[in-house]
Amino acid sequence: MNDLTALYQEMILDHNKSPRNFRKISDTAYHADGVNPLCGDELTVYLTVTDDIIHDASFEGKGCAISIASASLMTEALIGQTLDDAEALFKQFHDALTKDDASANLSNMGKLVALDGVKAYPARVKCATLAWHTSHAAMQCSQKQVTTEIDDV
């Protein structure tokens, strides 16, 4: 394992142990539930949106280290973004982990790069993308539960 891989692993373990923005936002229409039945990950994502800008992002739930760390890193990345930019981030993150294309990666996505290694473990990709699918639904005020087994993950 090289130093960079070790650093990324440490970041994932840290965000799993002390997830950032792990709380409920009560008075918002922008929330959604997501499940990844393959692993048992269950998340609820909350967003505070005014004038198309995400002022606050949070999540609750339970799941494996990858799903919790990904949700934690995602909330940090989403706060301050416009809804359009957040959708672009979602697409970029999703493509980086699901497309068989070396140019699609997380290297220019700040701390999210810590999850780049997940691509090598196809069974864990849905753990990493669950929070993003859930926030995608939350942004559309879609109250229906998203699942990684129905959506095109």
Applying CB under 5 A, the residues found at the interface with Zn ion are: 39, 41, 64, 67, 127
E-strand spans in 13-86? 30-36, 41-50, 53-62
Question: Which of residues 41 and 116 has its CB atom nearest to Zn ion in the complex?
Answer: 41
How far is residue 13's CA from residue 138's CA, in Å, rounded to a whole number?
26
User: Of 17, 140, 25, whose CA–CA distance to 90 is shortest?
Assistant: 140
In DSSP terms, 32 is beta-bridged to 45
For residue 24, the minimal CB distance to Zn ion (Å) is 21
The set of residues, in sequence order, having a beta carbon less than 8 Å from that of 111 and lying 6+ positions away, is 11, 73, 76, 77
In this complex, which beta carbon is closest to Zn ion, that of residue 70 or of residue 75?
70
* DSSP-based three-state secondary structure for 56: strand
Q: How far is the CB of 48 from Zn ion (least distance, A)?
A: 26
Task: State the nearest-atom distance from the C-beta of 36 to Zn ion, in Å.
Answer: 6
Nearby residues of 121 by Cβ (< 8 Å), 6 or more positions away = none
29 versus 121: smaller Cβ distance to Zn ion: 121
Please, which residue, 56 or 60, has the CB nearer to Zn ion? 60
Nearest distance, CB of residue 12 and Zn ion, angstroms = 12
- The residue among 41 and 56 lying less far from Zn ion, judged by its C-beta, is 41
- What residues form DSSP beta bridges with 122? none
Q: What is the DSSP letter of 29?
A: S
Nearest approach, Cβ of residue 128 and Zn ion (Å): 8
